[in-house]
C-alpha cells in the first residue's frame, strides 16, 4: 500500500536574512577606515605636527560616526514611512474592495505560473487565513529580512564607522613621524582587504573580488586626498 508521508520540516537559515545589518556594518566600517585614513594622509601631507594629525583624525572619527548614524536613520526611516503608507493603503483597500483585492491576488499567482482555477483557490485560502499578510508579501514584496529598522541601522553604522576609523588612528599613534603616511595607508588598505573578504564570506559570496574592489577604491580615495593635502600645504 502506498501512502503519502509528510517529511519533517526542513528549516533553513538563508544568508539574505543578514542583509539589513550586514550592509550597514560593512558600509560603516569601510567608510570609517577609508575616510579617516584619507583624512590622516591628507593632513599629514600638509601638517608638521603629529598632534595636528591626531586631532584631525579624532574629529573625523566623531563627526563621521555621527554623520553615518544620522544619515542611515533618516534614510531607513524614510523607507519605513513609505512601507507604513503602503501598508495602510492596502488595509484600506482590503476593507473597502475585498473582491477586487482577491482578484488582484489571483492575478499575481496566475502571472507566476499557477493555473487560473488553482490560483483562485490559493488566493481564497490565503485571504481567509490572513489577507493582509498575503498581500503584503505577494503584492507589496514585504519580507521579514527586508523590514526597515532605522534605529538598528543607525547604531550599527555609527559603531562600525568608529571601529573602522580607530584603525588608521591607532596606526598613526604607533608610526614614526617620517613613515606615518605609508604605514597608515598601507595598514588601512590591508584591513580594508580583510574586511572586504570577511563581509563577502558572511554574505555567502566569493571573497576575492570584494576584497580587491574595496582595496582599490580605498587606495584611490587615500591617494587623491593625500595629493590635495600636499598641494594645499604648499599653497598655505
Distances (CA, A) of 16 to 106, 112, 173: 27, 22, 39
Q: Give the number of other Cβ atoms within 10 Å of residue 231's Cβ.
A: 12
pLDDT tens digits, one per residue of 121-132: 999 998 998 888
| Mean pLDDT, range 162-187, rounded to an integer | 89
Q: What pLDDT does residue 148 have?
A: 66
Is residue 27 scored above 60 in pLDDT?
yes
| Mean pLDDT, range 147-168, rounded to an integer | 86
Residue 155 cell numbers, joined: 547604531
Q: What pLDDT does residue 110 have?
A: 92
Q: What pLDDT does residue 234 have?
A: 58
| Mean pLDDT, range 22-38, rounded to an integer | 81
- Are 20 and 75 in contact by the 8 Å Cβ rule? The answer is no
Q: What pLDDT does residue 2 have?
A: 47
- Are 64 and 161 in contact by the 8 Å Cβ rule? The answer is yes
Residue 92 cell numbers, joined: 484600506
Q: What is the C-alpha separation between 183 and 153, in angstroms, rounded?
A: 32
- Are 26 and 161 in contact by the 8 Å Cβ rule? The answer is no
Query: How sure is the predictor about 146, in pLDDT bands with cuts at 50, 70 and 90?
Result: low
Q: What is the mean pLDDT of the chain?
A: 82
Write out 126-153 in H/E/C secondary structure.
HHHHHHHHHHHHHCCCCCHHHCCCHHHH
Residue 82 cell numbers, joined: 513609505
pLDDT tens digits, one per residue of 65-111: 999 889 888 988 888 888 889 889 989 999 999 899 999 999 999 99
Q: What pLDDT does residue 236 have?
A: 54
Q: What pLDDT does residue 48 have?
A: 64
Q: What pLDDT does residue 225 have?
A: 79
Q: Which of 215, 150, 189 is nearest to 41 (CA)?
A: 189
Is residue 177 scored above 70 in pLDDT?
yes
Q: What pLDDT does residue 156 have?
A: 85
Q: What is the C-alpha separation between 230 and 136, in angstroms, rounded?
A: 55
Q: What is the C-alpha separation between 39 and 118, in angstroms, rounded?
A: 62
pLDDT tens digits, one per residue of 186-200: 999 999 998 888 877
Looking at residue 4, the DSSP 8-state letter turns out to be -
Q: What pLDDT does residue 14 have?
A: 46
Amino acid at each position: 500500500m502506498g501512502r503519502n508521508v509528510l517529511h519533517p520540516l526542513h528549516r533553513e537559515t538563508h544568508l539574505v536574512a543578514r542583509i539589513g545589518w550586514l550592509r550597514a556594518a560593512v558600509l560603516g566600517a569601510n567608510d570609517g577606515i577609508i575616510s579617516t585614513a584619507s583624512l590622516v594622509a591628507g593632513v599629514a601631507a600638509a601638517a608638521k605636527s603629529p598632534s595636528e594629525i591626531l586631532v584631525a583624525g579624532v574629529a573625523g572619527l566623531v563627526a563621521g560616526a555621527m554623520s553615518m548614524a544620522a544619515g542611515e536613520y533618516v534614510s531607513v526611516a524614510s523607507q519605513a514611512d513609505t512601507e507604513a503608507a503602503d501598508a495602510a493603503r492596502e488595509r484600506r483597500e482590503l476593507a473597502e474592495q475585498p473582491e477586487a483585492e482577491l482578484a488582484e491576488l489571483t492575478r499575481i499567482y496566475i502571472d507566476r505560473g499557477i493555473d487560473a482555477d488553482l490560483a483562485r483557490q490559493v488566493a481564497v485560502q490565503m485571504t481567509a487565513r490572513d489577507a493582509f499578510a498575503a498581500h503584503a508579501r505577494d503584492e507589496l514584496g514585504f519580507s521579514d529580512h527586508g523590514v526597515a529598522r532605522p534605529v538598528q541601522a543607525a547604531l550599527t553604522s555609527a559603531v562600525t564607522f568608529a571601529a573602522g576609523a580607530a584603525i588608521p588612528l591607532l596606526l598613526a599613534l604607533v608610526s614614526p613621524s617620517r613613515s606615518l603616511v605609508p604605514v597608515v595607508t598601507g595598514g588601512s588598505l590591508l584591513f580594508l582587504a580583510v574586511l572586504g573578504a570577511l563581509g563577502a564570506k558572511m554574505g555567502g559570496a566569493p571573497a576575492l573580488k570584494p576584497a580587491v574592489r574595496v582595496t582599490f577604491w580605498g587606495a584611490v580615495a587615500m591617494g587623491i586626498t593625500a595629493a590635495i593635502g600636499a598641494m594645499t600645504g604648499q599653497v598655505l
